[in-house]
């Protein structure tokens, strides 16, 4: 079947779709419905202002339909979808929804229910297709399941309310989407640009761009298969987003290159993550859209903290110096850490080299700060721990502060060590820090120092925000 031209639906139209292609089960065909082709056609459904009427609906076990240069127009009062590739629950065996779909240069505008909906659309290809101005808080693209499918150069723009650009999620039976998303773009969507609620092994985004979406550029949730972001970008925009990349409850994420801007955080950690890795040449930007602050995440060489079972480490334990490092009583010592993947911080581990003596009760502890000086968490008093048993490893649990969060996003942090007493303890450290913090910091300034100190104080003077850090001699 080949169809071209223009179809205009009147306000009195009834039916599930202006153009409906059904499967053999529904129509009683002798074999699988296959080979339909629509080219160069415009569907005008703007007169349908209520109900649920799709522009184009392909229903059930339909193989290999082809759509090229097909445009569908609707209005938000119509809860239908521009292109709806829907499942037929009455199918006994085989695929329950269209597969091997080919869709090129197609456009869905203004519908209240969605732009493009696919259900387990395996072995399909969508090229240069766009969903725009979708109403009702619904997404431009809703992709439920489907394997070995590609989306190339597709777009989702101006989808209102809390509407997302692209949503990748499970089918009713729990099948996750897999495939390649290449060079796709979102712009000015009310929700996230790209929302991954579930993904199989694997779903790869390359060279995709999300600009001006409100909630997040990329929102990766419940990634139970491998999600890879390679060379993607979220540029600074006055309209958003809150997070350039938000990651939560995900078990397999790999980010390679790209830049992610968020007014709150370039990369946000929603908690519940594991096995999330950030590779070379990636940057997270936050703050003002006119002049965002840049926090580059560089290459990881040699042994990283994640290789040793830590979120981050100040130095490789192999390089520990038996001469150790003392701290001055009442002077907080700061150790810089670089977190490269979203993760929850449970505690701080250090090695006690020499016992302290005469330590003042309730005045010996470690705390975690952001590089901006915000207190995130602190340990219990260590005065009865740092005075006995050396040499030994110290595992100090952190308690979250009311104004902070121990769900760490990629970036720089400081661990503060404070001891008050007659003879503070000595801790294992690197050779450089036994000389001075100036040697250890190289050419780093205060804002990114690896090792630093701040003004002398006791715990009663501990602040939720401390602007007195400085990279001075140790």
Structure confidence by residue, pLDDT tens digits, 442-469: 556 655 666 666 665 544 334 443 433 3
Global pTM value: 0.70
Domain count, the chain: 2
User: Percentages helix, strand, coil for the chain, rounded to the nearest 5?
Assistant: 5, 45, 50
Do 440 and 318 belong to one domain?
A: yes
CA angle 417, 425, 384 (to 5 degrees): 85
Structure tokens at 282: 């990636």
- How big is the chain by its Cα radius of gyration, in Å? 28
Q: Count the residues in the chain.
A: 474
* 468 found inside a domain: no
Structure confidence by residue, pLDDT tens digits, 31-79: 788 889 999 999 999 999 999 999 999 999 899 999 999 999 999 999 9
H or E segment to which residue 142 belongs? strand 141-144
* 473 found inside a domain: no
Choosing from 283, 302, 321, the residue where a domain stops is 302
Q: How far is CA 378 from the centre of its chain?
A: 27
* 287 found inside a domain: yes
Q: Is the pLDDT of residue 397 over 60?
A: yes
Do 163 and 89 belong to one domain?
A: yes
| Full domain range(s) for residue 276 | 2-302
Mean pLDDT of 434-443: 54
Mean pLDDT of 423-429: 86
CA angle 109, 116, 233 (to 5 degrees): 90
Do 330 and 295 belong to one domain?
A: no
Lowest mean pLDDT among 113-117, 415-419, 436-440: 436-440
Which residues does residue 56 pair with via DSSP β-bridges, in sequence order? Answer: 19, 83
Do 331 and 243 belong to one domain?
A: no
Cα atoms in the Cβ-side hemisphere of radius 13 Å centred on 141: 29
């Amino acid at each position: 079947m080949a169809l071209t031209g223009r179809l205009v639906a009147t306000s009195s139209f009834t039916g599930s779709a202006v153009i409906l292609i059904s499967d053999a089960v529904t129509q009683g065909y002798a074999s699988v419905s296959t080979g339909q082709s629509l080219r160069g056609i415009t569907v005008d459904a703007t007169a349908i202002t209520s109900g649920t009427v799709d522009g184009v609906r392909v229903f059930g076990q339909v193989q290999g339909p082809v759509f090229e240069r097909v445009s569908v127009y609707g209005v938000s009062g119509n809860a239908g979808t521009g292109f709806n590739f829907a499942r037929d629950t009455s199918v006994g065996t085989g695929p329950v929804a269209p597969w091997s779909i080919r869709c090129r240069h197609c456009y869905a505008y203004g519908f209240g229910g969605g732009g493009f909906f696919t259900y387990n659309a395996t072995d399909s290809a969508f090229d240069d297709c766009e969903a725009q101005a979708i109403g009702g808080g619904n997404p431009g693209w809703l992709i439920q399941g489907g394997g070995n499918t590609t989306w190339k150069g597709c777009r989702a723009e101006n989808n209102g309310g809390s509407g997302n650009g692209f949503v990748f999620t499970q089918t009713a039976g729990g099948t996750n989407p897999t495939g390649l998303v290449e060079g796709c773009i979102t712009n000015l969507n009310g929700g996230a640009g790209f929302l991954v609620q579930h993904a199989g092994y694997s779903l790869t985004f390359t060279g995709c761009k999300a600009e001006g979406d409100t909630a997040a550029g990329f929102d990766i949730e419940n990634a139970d298969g491998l999600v890879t972001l390679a060379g993607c970008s979220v540029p600074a925009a006055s309209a958003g987003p809150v997070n350039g990349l938000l990651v939560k409850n995900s078990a397999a994420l790999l980010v390679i290159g790209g830049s992610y801007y968020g007014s709150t955080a370039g990369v946000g950690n929603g908690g519940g993550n594991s096995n999330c890795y950030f590779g070379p040449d990636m940057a997270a930007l936050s703050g003002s859209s006119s002049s965002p602050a840049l926090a580059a995440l560089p290459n990881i060489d040699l042994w990283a903290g994640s290789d040793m079972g830590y979120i981050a480490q100040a130095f490789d334990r192999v390089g520990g110096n038996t001469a150790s490092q003392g701290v001055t009583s009442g002077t907080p010592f700061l150790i810089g850490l670089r977190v490269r993947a979203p993760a929850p911080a449970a505690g701080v581990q250090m090695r006690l080299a020499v016992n302290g003596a005469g330590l003042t009760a309730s005045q010996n502890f470690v705390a975690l700060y952001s590089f901006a000086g915000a207190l995130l968490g602190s340990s219990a008093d260590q005065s009865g721990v740092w005075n006995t048993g050396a040499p030994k490893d110290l595992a100090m649990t952190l308690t979250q502060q009311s104004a902070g969060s121990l769900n760490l996003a990629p970036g720089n942090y400081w661990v503060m060590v404070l001891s008050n007493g007659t003879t503070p303890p000595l801790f294992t450290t690197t050779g450089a820090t036994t000389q001075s913090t100036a040697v250890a910091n190289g050419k780093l300034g205060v804002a990114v120092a690896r090792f630093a100190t701040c003004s002398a104080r006791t715990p009663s003077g501990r602040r939720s925000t401390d602007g007195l850090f400085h990279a001075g001699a140790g």
